[in-house]
Amino acid sequence: MVRYLYHNRLAVDIAGLKMKTPVTTASGTFGFGLEFTDFLDLEKVGAVTVKGTTLAPRAGNKGQRVVETPSGMLNCVGLENPGSEYFLKETLPKLRKYKVPIIVNIDASSPEEYGELAAKLDVKGVDAVEINVSCPNIKDGGLVFGTNAKSMAQVVKEVKRNTSKVVITKLSPNVTSITEMAKAAEDAGTDALSLINTLIGMKIDIHRQRPVLGNVTGGLSGPCIRPVAVRMCYEVAQAVKVPIIGMGGIMCAEDAIEFFLAGASAIAVGTANFVNPAIAETISPGILEYMDKHNIKKIQDMIGLALPGRC
């Protein structure tokens, strides 16, 4: 359940994960946070969700990995990352110098491996793990689990069994019913949900008459997916009790506010980090301004205001 801290108007507590502001960063769009310290104060971000991490290093996909699309972009990075060992030894000690909760996005190729990875990351300095069962760009994990309620539940249970940290499950929009997936994750014991991951899309180079991306398809992100994300947030918020971290194309405070009104308890900024590397810090003041204008005392008072029966 969501418990709230009252000393600050923007402070939230997501299933035990205490944040000064509900504005977090989406995995894969903010590196390990350290890449952005010239542009913003990491401590003014609610939580830093780091790049998807796997047990062993991954080189990612070959060929072109990113292409811009109308008001968005497609990527097929394929979870390139230096692996959990490197993260724990090299990255985490640097991150720990900042007083900001760290959420590690995790991906694996079997429920057992998810469990092993969660256990490995059950260390001081890691505040939560976000189960990535929604990466569309790899063949041996991610979305394989995110489109089947049973296998996703297995993953969630394995992770829960192996960690003392807050467990967030990141849902894919590439399913028939996201509320069913949300309920399955909740039943399996997830502490919170984050949604949405990218939508599968593709672009074809009409001059070369072949797909642009090396992996053929990629994940669509950016403002073009925001209406889908808001709708899914709105539906999931009505179906589950666990808190939601809403994301999908948030570019400014107004966009973030839509998600709160649709029932999200926190939000994440993704693709916008590429456009404006200071964005994760600048959204919170905008939310406060809106709250002042609408006489909203604390962030909790506006969560779900647009849900049926509330408006």
Please identify every residue annotated as catalytic: 135
For 155, other C-beta atoms within 10 Å of its C-beta total 29
Residue 81 beta carbon to other proteins: minimum distance, rounded to whole angstroms: 9
Q: Encode burial over 243-257: b for 16+ CB neighbours within 10 A, e otherwise.
A: bbbbbbbbbebebbb
Residues 17-56, mask of contacts with other proteins (x by CB under 8 A): -----------xxxx---xx-xx-----------x-----
Q: At what angle do helices 253-261 and 279-293 cross, to 10 degrees?
A: 60
275 binding other proteins? (CB under 8 A): yes
According to CB under 8 A, which one of 271, 296, 300, 303 is a site residue for other proteins?
271
Question: 279: cis peptide before it, omega within 30°?
Answer: no
Closer of 68 and 122 to other proteins (Cβ): 68
- The answer to whether the beta carbons of residues 272 and 245 sit under 8 Å apart is no
According to CB under 8 A, which one of 59, 206, 295, 309 is a site residue for other proteins?
59
Closer of 3 and 62 to other proteins (Cβ): 62
Window of 69-77, 137-145, 149-157, 179-187 that interacts with other proteins by CB under 8 A: 69-77
Helix, strand and coil content of the chain, in percent to the nearest 5, comes to 35, 20, 45
67 binding other proteins? (CB under 8 A): yes
Q: CB neighbours of 157 closer than 8 A, spacing ≥ 6?
A: 111, 188, 189
Structure tokens at 180: 């069913």
Closer of 66 and 123 to other proteins (Cβ): 66
Closer of 136 and 223 to other proteins (Cβ): 223
222 binding other proteins? (CB under 8 A): yes
Residue 304 beta carbon to other proteins: minimum distance, rounded to whole angstroms: 27
According to CB under 8 A, which one of 75, 169, 197, 198 is a site residue for other proteins?
75
According to CB under 8 A, which one of 66, 85, 139, 164 is a site residue for other proteins?
66
223 binding other proteins? (CB under 8 A): yes
Closer of 30 and 304 to other proteins (Cβ): 30
253 binding other proteins? (CB under 8 A): no
174 binding other proteins? (CB under 8 A): no
Q: How many binding residues for other proteins (CB under 8 A)?
A: 35
According to CB under 8 A, which one of 41, 43, 68, 112 is a site residue for other proteins?
68
Report the chain's terminal Cα–Cα distance, integer Å: 23
The closest of 135, 100, 104 to 118, measured between CA atoms, is 104
203 binding other proteins? (CB under 8 A): no
Q: At what angle do helices 149-162 and 178-187 cross, to 10 degrees?
A: 30
Closer of 211 and 222 to other proteins (Cβ): 222
Structure tokens at 104: 């590690």
Closer of 134 and 273 to other proteins (Cβ): 273
Gap between the Cα atoms of 182 and 204, Å rounded: 33
Gap between the Cα atoms of 6 and 89, Å rounded: 36
Gap between the Cα atoms of 151 and 126, Å rounded: 25
Gap between the Cα atoms of 184 and 58, Å rounded: 29
Query: Which spans of this chain sit near other proteins (rule: CB under 8 A)?
Result: 28-31, 35-36, 38-39, 51, 59-60, 64-68, 70-73, 75, 77, 80, 82, 222-224, 251, 271, 273-278
